[in-house]
Amino acid sequence: MALYLGSNAHVFNTAALDAITSKLMARESEVEDALARAVNTAAEKTIELTEEEWNSYFRINGGYINGKVRLVRRARAGRTEAVVGARARATRADNFKFRVLPNRKGVRLNVRRGGSGGVIRNAFVIPRAKSNGQPLILERLQKYQKGERRDFRHGSKQIGRFNRAEKLRFKALYGPSVNQHFHDSRARVAPIAMTAAKEQFMKAIRA
């Protein structure tokens, strides 16, 4: 409010600004809520786009990635930061497209779309692994020795308090982990997700 005195002086006080200040304080809370929602939208969009990119790049069951890229921490007013994490465990090769070659000539494994894959000559498939009942692709590391045990244990000896394999006969085959893919894909999908979040934020605050 301005008070006009007899001279050319003007005296100001805050009476006329009090109402505006109250509105701005209320608006600040509204903006913080909108900002947190926008950040969460960016994170959720990043997950969606990462899953789409994964399925378009790999020859794998589309449901495999479900839940393996997730929102670890949501943003909220006062902490406008969201965290997206991806599963780091390697992907078992049997989740990708594979075919056992006749006459024990190995396994053709096709991980990426748009390619014919490659043949792993010393590989074979256990139809139902004990761990989950699914096929397991193994690669033989040592040539068959007459009289060797007919199971998939490596054989071990006591080293200190632990049993250690003396020589590995087989190894399970794995493909890229979701985390490996996310390490690269996030640079591609995050800008798209942020654009969607910005649009949502500007609409929410009617800017």
pLDDT digits (tens, 9 = 90+) for 28-56: 788 888 888 899 999 999 999 999 999 99
What pLDDT band is residue 17 in, cutting at 50, 70 and 90?
A: low
Please give the average per-residue pLDDT across 186-193, as a whole number.
92
CA–CA separation, 39 and 81 (whole Å): 7
The per-residue pLDDT for 189 is 92
CA–CA separation, 56 and 13 (whole Å): 64
pLDDT at 201 over 80: yes
pLDDT digit string, tens, across residues 126-137:
888 877 788 899
CA–CA separation, 177 and 83 (whole Å): 19
Q: What is the mean pLDDT of the chain?
A: 82
- 103: amino acid identity, one letter: N
CA–CA separation, 165 and 193 (whole Å): 48
Please give the average per-residue pLDDT across 108-128, as a whole number.
90
Residue bearing the bigger pLDDT, 113 or 21: 113
Please give the average per-residue pLDDT across 168-189, as a whole number.
91
What the block records as the tokens of 90 is 């390697």
Other residues' Cβ atoms within 10 Å of the Cβ of residue 179: 15
User: Model pTM?
Assistant: 0.74
**Residue 94: which of 75, 113, 107, 79 has the closest Cα?**
107
CA distances from 140 to 70, 123, 173 (A): 36, 6, 10
